[in-house]
Amino acid sequence: MSGTVILLFGATGDLAKRKLFPAIYSMYREGKLGENFAVIGLARRPRTNEQFRQDVLESIQEFGRYKSVGDTDWTSFAERFNYMPLDINDVNGFRQLRVLVEELDGKYETGGNRLFYLALAPDLFGSVSFNLRDGGLLDTKGYHRLVIEKPFGYDLESAEKLNAQLRQVFEEKDIYRIDHYLGKEMVQNIEFVRFANAFFEPLWNNKFIANVQITLSETVGVEERGGYYDKSGALRDMAQNHMLQMLTMIAMEPPSRLHPEDIRDEKVKVLRSLRGFASAEDVRENVVRGQYGEGELKGKPLPGYRSEPNVNPASATETFFAARVFVDNFRWAGVPFYVRTGKRLPVKTTEIVIEFKNVPDNVYLSRKHSLEPNLLVFRINPMEGIYFKMNAKQPGSEGVLVPVALDFCQSCVVGINTPEAYERLIHDASRGDSTYFTRWDEVAHAWQFVDQIADAWTKLGSEDLAFYPAGSWGPKRAQELLENDGFKWWPVNGQHEGEVHWETTTSAAKPEANVLA
């Protein structure tokens, strides 16, 4: 790959420490960065190069995939890391930065290529872009790519303003909007499983699929991010981005070519086809919002959301969001997509369940047994794999039908060697592949959809906000959303002990584990 200088804004922050330094190191270890690269850490607080390198080392040792760093390896990696104190609002600082970048550009032969990674609060994105331009950092022959973190705005209006600022300096093709879910192995795998298997694609439509269920559940509360989260809530924090992105991957048409723009064109068509809400009442019927109160998880008592640090004690912010969503196009007409996400739920998991319709009135079987529907499950996070539930005769029985699970546990096979989402995304940005980044029109359509819900909530006040005990599966209405349609949420990893057997990679290894009780 061609060389690059990575300018990491927000280098003293949480994201840099937990995700970005370890990702850069893993990429280096695996040869994905080559030798022609350097990193400049930027933030206001003073650090020497040595202190900064020590921060990087500690972050790798605590959070990295490769926790042990060999001496030779480390020296050659660490010497590429430089730190410069800089206030985003000070254009003179950017002029000094230019001198440092040019020096490193020459030393590591990076060809004028620059990757600006903004691990910063979004209200600083505009200033950074203007000062990069005014400080002369874009005056080189090489590429100038801007990688930005979520949230991209608070609503459509603020996102448009932000985008307009960025576009005064950068072209759309050079803006890489991160949605780290798109960097997850199994999210990327959705299109391969869908489009590379003869037995799925023909069934992938409203004739054969009864519903789709997307769950992103977290056991954590808001941790130290109460200040941010209380203004955001589950709808903006998870649904506007990760959840809708996964929905597009499930619902999109096959792209004509595996070109980033073709794939993103198909995704945006799905977002455009999302059925809007006719009124606040319509939102109340199809959307559930909740907030966790006191509760317990695994015997440990947990405080309610309103008692979390930096949260308004009378907050009406939702920590749980569920909805019934429709994609109004030929393929998906009438198929409900049920989505839910929340903090302080019983398990940490992200799963997508495709529930197939039952076989048409199978006279022989349905008279004697109640058939379970076939399920295809993408296990995204934290374990990765694919699970397929089908019906078969119980071995040795007189025609007793049992559900059996074909369970491919990918993480059991590749373990910790799966690259982290941030590794993939930084690697992709450095080689100019924007497939798994969100294009502006995707972001805009996602906000348009989400704004309708947020506006309805403003109209409704907090009358439909339901409280749920920390450690439970959210408000009862989230169950009713499906029950009223004759469905139920399927168990997700860990919800029912004994149903899913992660330690089993093949049925030969442990045959009984593949038969559901």
Ligand X SMILES: O=C1O[C@H](COP(=O)(O)O)[C@@H](O)[C@H](O)[C@H]1O
Ligand Y SMILES: NC(=O)C1=CN([C@@H]2O[C@H](COP(=O)(O)OP(=O)(O)OC[C@H]3O[C@@H](n4cnc5c(N)ncnc54)[C@H](OP(=O)(O)O)[C@@H]3O)[C@@H](O)[C@H]2O)C=CC1
Residues that bind ligand Y (CB under 6 A): 10-15, 18, 43-45, 86-89, 119-122, 149-151
User: Is 10 marked as binding a ligand?
Assistant: yes
Residue 275 known to bind ligand: no
DSSP H or E run through 59? helix 49-63
Q: Least distance (Å) from ligand Y to the CB of residue 18?
A: 6
Binds 417: which of ligand X, ligand Y, none (CB < 5-8 Å by kind): none
Question: Given the complex with ligand Y, which of 3 and 226 has the nearer CB atom?
Answer: 226
386 is in an annotated binding site: no
For residues 121 and 359, which CB has a smaller minimum distance to ligand Y in the complex?
121
C-alpha dist (Å) from residue 348 to 53, 90, 227: 33, 42, 22
Q: Is 218 labeled as ligand-binding?
A: yes
CB nearer to ligand X: give 1 or 454: 454
For residue 269, say whether it is annotated as part of any ligand binding site. Answer: no
Query: What residues are paired with 510 via a beta bridge?
Result: none
Q: Write out the two tokens for 436.
A: 């798994």
Other C-beta atoms closer than 10 Å to the C-beta of 286 total: 18
Q: Closest CB to ligand X belongs to which residue?
A: 237
Q: Is 15 annotated as a binding residue?
A: yes
Tokens representing residue 5 in the block: 């200088």
Distances in Å between the Cα of 239 and the Cα atoms of 213, 339, 450 are 13, 9, 8
Token couple for 499: 């149903």
Nearest-approach distance from CB 323 to ligand Y, in angstroms: 22
For ligand X, give the closer residue by CB, 218 or 407: 218
379 contacts which partner out of ligand X, ligand Y, none, CB within 5 to 8 A by kind?
Answer: none
CB 343 → ligand X: shortest distance, Å? 7
377 binds, among ligand Y, ligand X, none (CB under 5 to 8 A by kind): none
Q: Is 242 a catalytic residue?
A: yes
Integer CA distances (angstroms), 426 to 28, 120, 485, 505, in order: 12, 16, 42, 31
**Binds 352: which of ligand X, ligand Y, none (CB < 5-8 Å by kind):** none
Q: The tokens 């459509």 sit on which residue?
A: 156
Contacts of 462 (CB under 8 A, 6+ apart): 316
221 is known to lie in a ligand binding site = no
- CB 362 to ligand X: min, Å: 39
Q: Which does 237 bind (CB under 5 to 8 A by kind): ligand X, ligand Y, none?
A: ligand X
Q: List, as one string, the DSSP characters of 328-342.
A: -STTTTT-EEEEEEE
Tell me the pairing of strands 385-393 and 401-409: antiparallel
Residue 13 assigned to a binding site? yes
Backbone angles phi, psi at 383, to 5 degrees: -85, 150
Q: Per the residue annotation, which of 144, 242, 427, 501 is the catalytic one? A: 242
Question: Is 88 annotated for ligand binding?
Answer: yes
If we measure between CA atoms, which residue out of 132, 140, 175 comes closest to residue 4? 140
Q: Nearest to residue 345, comparing CAs of 296, 410, 273?
A: 296
Under 8 Å between Cβ of 355 and 485: no
CB of 237 to ligand X, least distance (A): 5
Q: By C-beta, is 146 or 238 nearer to ligand X?
A: 238
Q: Are 436 and 425 in contact (CB under 8 A)?
A: yes
Please check whether residue 329 is in contact with residue 337, taking contact to mean a CB–CB distance below 8 angstroms.
Answer: no
Residue 88 binding partner per list ligand X, ligand Y, none, with a CB distance cut-off of 5 to 8 Å that depends on partner kind? ligand Y
Question: What is the closest distance, in whole angstroms, from the C-beta atom of residue 259 to ligand X in the complex?
Answer: 27
Q: How many CB atoms lie within 10 A of CB 124?
A: 15
Task: With H, G, I as helix, E, B as strand and everything else as coil, classify residue 247.
Answer: helix
* Contact of residue 122 among ligand Y, ligand X, none (CB under 5-8 Å per partner type): ligand Y
Helix, strand, coil fractions of the chain, as percent rounded to 5: 40, 20, 40
**Residue 45 site contact among ligand Y, ligand X, none (CB < 5 to 8 Å, cut-off depends on kind):** ligand Y
Shortest distance (Å) from residue 334 CB to ligand Y: 35
12 is in an annotated binding site: yes
Residue 466's φ and ψ, nearest 5 degrees, are -105, 145
Which residue number places its CB atom closest to ligand Y?
Answer: 13
**Nearer residue to ligand X within complex by CB, 104 or 118:** 118
- Rounded Cα–Cα distance for residues 297 and 32 (Å): 41
Cα–Cα separations (whole angstroms), residue 330 to 247, 327, 356: 16, 9, 18
Which of 87/433 has CB closer to ligand Y?
Answer: 87
- Please state the closest distance from residue 74 (CB atom) to ligand X, in A: 27
Q: Are 235 and 321 in contact (CB under 8 A)?
A: yes
Residues 213 and 498: their CA atoms lie apart, in Å, by 21
Q: From residue 398, how far is each of 161, 187, 394, 401 by CA, in Å?
A: 67, 41, 8, 9
Site residues for ligand X per CB under 6 A: 218, 237-238, 350, 381
Q: Which is nearer to ligand X, 56 or 238 (CB)?
A: 238
| Numbered residues of the known binding site | 10-17, 44, 87-88, 150, 180, 184, 218, 237, 343, 348
Which residue positions form the known binding site for NADP(+)?
10-17, 44, 87-88, 150
Active-site amino acid positions: 242
The binding site for substrate consists of 180, 184, 218, 237, 343, 348
